[in-house]
Amino acid sequence: MSGICGGCRCGAVRYVLALHNLPPTYACHCTDCQTWSGSAFSQQAVVLEDAIEATGPITVFELSSPSGRTSRQRMCAVCHTRIFNTNSARPGVAVVRAGTLDRSNELRVTAHIWTRSKQPWLDLADGAPSWSEAPPPEDMAKALGFSRD
Ligand SMILES: [Zn+2]
Ligand SMILES: [Zn+2]
């Protein structure tokens, strides 16, 4: 398989991203991400949903927000590693849990969001854009190197 590969902790789910290079990633320091990841922040990559080809037993957890948006979290049905999610607010776009990439040790974090709830021991590298809460979508797209077409 060519592309950027990843998978869950137990190996039952594998996926390929139709990309030539590792995607840029961002860190979300919100308390939901801290709880969900069991860690200080979540590291994620934004890709087109069509660019993900996953194999193996995937189960879906749906979470609706009060504003009516539905997040669909895809996880391994065996070990429950979260792999990626989509959101009804952004059709066609998927957010991949960057730590599931085989080459996660090579990733760069190009933006930090929700730093308002960042854990205090964590120092962020100079120069990476950061926002205390959620950034405007166009600013985030720019930070991740996406153009508008
Ligand atoms: Zn698994
Ligand atoms: Zn978050």
- Please name the helix (run of DSSP H) or strand (run of DSSP E) that holds residue 111, with its range, or none: strand 109-113
Confidence at 85, pLDDT banded by 50, 70, 90: very high
Q: What pLDDT shows up at residue 148?
A: 52
Q: What pLDDT shows up at residue 23?
A: 94
Q: Ligand 2 centroid vs 1 CA: distance in angstroms?
A: 31
Q: Ligand 1 centroid vs 77 CA: distance in angstroms?
A: 7
Q: Ligand 2 centroid vs 146 CA: distance in angstroms?
A: 20
SS3 86: strand
pLDDT at 149 over 50: no
Of the ligands numbered here, which is closest to the C-alpha atom of 28? 2
Output the CA angle 23-27-32, nearest 5 degrees.
125
Q: What pLDDT shows up at residue 68?
A: 93
Q: Ligand 2 centroid vs 19 CA: distance in angstroms?
A: 24
Of the ligands numbered here, which is closest to the C-alpha atom of 81? 1
Q: Ligand 1 centroid vs 71 CA: distance in angstroms?
A: 20
